[in-house]
């Protein structure tokens, strides 16, 4: 029987990603087997970056942390 994975979900708009977001996610990556970054879209706000670009930015920042999933 395999060992259970410990997962965390970190939701936010990440518009744009900040050093604070990065710090929290890197610390979480050290505590959990997988950290899922859930990007929310607020239809009532005019965002700075489209969703796909925010996803790309997050993937680039965490390219060295395979346990962080966007």
Q: Which residues contact 31 (CB under 8 A, 6 or more apart)?
A: 6, 8
The answer, as to whether pTM is greater than 0.95, is no
The secondary element (H helix, E strand) that includes residue 17 is: none
For the stretch 12-53, pLDDT in tens is 999 999 999 999 999 999 999 999 999 998 788 888 999 999
- Strand 7-12 relative to strand 68-69: parallel, antiparallel, unpaired? unpaired
């Amino acid at each position: 029987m395999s060992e259970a994975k410990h997962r965390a979900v970190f939701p936010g708009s990440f518009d744009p990603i900040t050093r604070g977001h990065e710090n929290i996610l890197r610390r979480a990556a050290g505590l959990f087997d997988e950290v899922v970054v859930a990007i929310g879209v607020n239809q009532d706000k005019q965002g700075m970056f489209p969703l796909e670009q925010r996803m790309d930015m997050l993937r680039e920042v965490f390219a060295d942390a395979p346990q962080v999933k966007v």
